[in-house]
């Protein structure tokens, strides 16, 4: 049986000030003489404290959207507000500050610096934020400890498992205490159990107030979110509240122990097929 989260309201923050607001958000890519319409005018509001999953076929514009709301890219047209500030009106310094302090990004392939210890990877955003060395070490240590990696600070990425590397990446994303965590297929390179561990971390952070926006191809991962957006051909096809989000920690507890888990055991929570890539 699936464990469902006890939430007083599925989208508890639905009436609060939107932390992300997009109007007619458009992104074209020019390739020689042709134009790729990656996003064709997205209108959306995401409230502070929501946990939103984004699904949709490959090429439907999910990563393009994430890169725009993460201020890693600029739209061709349309308007975007992050934490009430219209991005277009920010100076380059203010934009860098917004990106560094308000938004944490987690990627499928972890994107850690290869020859750099876990702690030094987590310190990178603090270096950009101009935090002095001693405070950097302390904050990176705390962020890693909160993700169960206190004893792995000095490990290089290739001395860590995939799940541990993703937890280092999450610690790096959180070390500046952002308002928003953007995760583009964060469990795509992980097995079912490890993926659920990451989801349980996201749900814990979300309960503490962090806004989470996560891209996934897996229906059972999206089932952990409060709200599910579906993209198709650069458009928002549907936007639905999930009335009973799956509780990832409870699902994890219900999984058989590692040594009992059979090869090819079905994924955790949802019976339906994941969508094709
Ligand atoms: N830098 C780029 N230059 C040209 N076209 C691009 C670029 N980035 C993305 N595209 C195109 O924009 C469209 C949307 O791509 P995007 O990466 O947002 O899709 P996606 O939904 O994230 O797909 P996937 O599930 O495979 O990650 C695709 O047609 C893609 O080929
Ligand atoms: Mg993508």
Task: Give the pLDDT mean for 165-192.
Answer: 94
Structure tokens at 66: 């994430």
Quickly state the pLDDT bin for 16 (edges 50, 70, 90).
Answer: low
Task: Give the pLDDT mean for 129-136.
Answer: 95
Contact between residue 70 and residue 111 where contact means Cβ atoms under 8 Å apart = no
Burial of residue 257 (number of CB atoms within 10 Å: 0-12, 13-18, 19+): exposed
Contact between residue 127 and residue 135 where contact means Cβ atoms under 8 Å apart = no
- For residue 184, CA distances in Å to 62, 77, 104, 145 come to 8, 23, 11, 24
Structure tokens at 27: 């992104």
73 secondary structure, DSSP code: S
Q: Is the pLDDT of residue 14 over 80?
A: no
Specify the pTM.
0.88
Of the residues 42, 61, 182, 229, which should be mutated to test ligand 1's pocket, given the most ligand atoms within 8 Å of the CB?
Answer: 61
Q: Is the pLDDT of residue 262 over 80?
A: no
Cα 88 vs. chain centroid, distance in angstroms? 23
Percent of the chain with pLDDT over 90: 81
Q: Residue 36 C-alpha to ligand 1 middle, in angstroms?
A: 9
Q: Residue 14 C-alpha to ligand 1 middle, in angstroms?
A: 29
pLDDT, residue 86, reads 95
- Ligand 1 pocket, Cβ-based, cut-off 6 angstroms: 29, 31, 36, 38, 56, 58-64
Q: Is the pLDDT of residue 273 over 50?
A: no
Nearest partner of 75 among 84, 87, 83, judged by Cα: 87
Task: Give the pLDDT mean for 241-249.
Answer: 96
Q: Is the pLDDT of residue 260 over 80?
A: no
Nearest CA to ligand 1 atom 8: 64
Task: Give the pLDDT mean for 121-145.
Answer: 95
CB count, 10 Å around CB of 134? 8
Beta-sheet pairing, 34-47 with 180-184: unpaired
Q: Residue 34 C-alpha to ligand 1 middle, in angstroms?
A: 14
pLDDT, residue 274, reads 45
Phi/psi for 212 (5° steps) reads -120, 130
Task: Give the pLDDT mean for 249-262.
Answer: 75
276 secondary structure, DSSP code: P
Contact between residue 190 and residue 59 where contact means Cβ atoms under 8 Å apart = no
Nearest atom (ligand 1) to Cα of 30: 4
pLDDT, residue 2, reads 62
CATH T-level fold of 50-69+92-254: Rossmann fold (3.40.50)
Q: Where are the domains of the chain?
A: 50-69+92-254
pLDDT, residue 52, reads 98
Q: Is the pLDDT of residue 15 over 70?
A: no
The length of the chain in residues reads 277
Q: Could you give the maximum distance between any two Cα atoms of the chain, in Å?
A: 56
Quickly state the pLDDT bin for 6 (edges 50, 70, 90).
Answer: low
Q: Compute the distance between CA of residue 195 and CA of residue 248 in angstroms, rounded to an integer.
A: 9
Nearest partner of 66 among 11, 95, 105, 36, judged by Cα: 105
Structure tokens at 190: 């992980």
Q: Residue 64 C-alpha to ligand 1 middle, in angstroms?
A: 6
């Amino acid at each position: 049986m699936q464990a469902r989260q006890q939430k007083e309201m599925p989208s508890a923050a639905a009436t609060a000030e939107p932390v992300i607001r997009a109007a007619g958000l458009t992104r074209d890519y020019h390739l020689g003489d042709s134009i790729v319409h990656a996003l064709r005018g997205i209108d959306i509001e995401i409230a502070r404290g929501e946990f939103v999953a984004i699904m949709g076929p490959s090429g439907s514009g999910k990563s393009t959207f994430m890169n725009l709301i993460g201020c890693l890219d600029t739209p061709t047209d349309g308007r975007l507000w992050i934490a009430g500030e219209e991005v277009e009106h920010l100076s380059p310094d203010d934009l860098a500050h917004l990106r560094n302090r308000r938004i944490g990004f987690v990627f499928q392939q972890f994107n850690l610096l290869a020859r750099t210890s876990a702690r030094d990877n987590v310190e990178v955003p603090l270096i950009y934020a101009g935090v002095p060395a001693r405070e950097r070490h302390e904050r990176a240590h705390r962020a890693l400890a909160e993700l169960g990696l206190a004893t792995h600070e000095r490990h290089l990425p290739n001395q860590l498992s995939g799940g541990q590397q993703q937890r280092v990446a999450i610690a790096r994303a959180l070390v500046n205490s952002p308002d928003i965590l953007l995760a583009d297929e964060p469990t795509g390179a992980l097995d079912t159990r490890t993926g659920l561990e990451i989801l349980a971390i996201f749900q814990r952070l979300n309960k503490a107030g962090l806004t989470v926006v996560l891209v996934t191809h897996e229906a059972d991962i999206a089932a952990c979110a409060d709200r599910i957006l579906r993209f198709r051909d650069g458009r928002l096809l549907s936007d639905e509240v999930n009335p009973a989000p799956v509780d990832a920690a409870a699902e994890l507890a219900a999984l058989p122990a590692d040594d009992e888990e059979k090869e090819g055991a079905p994924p955790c929570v949802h019976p339906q097929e994941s969508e094709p890539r």
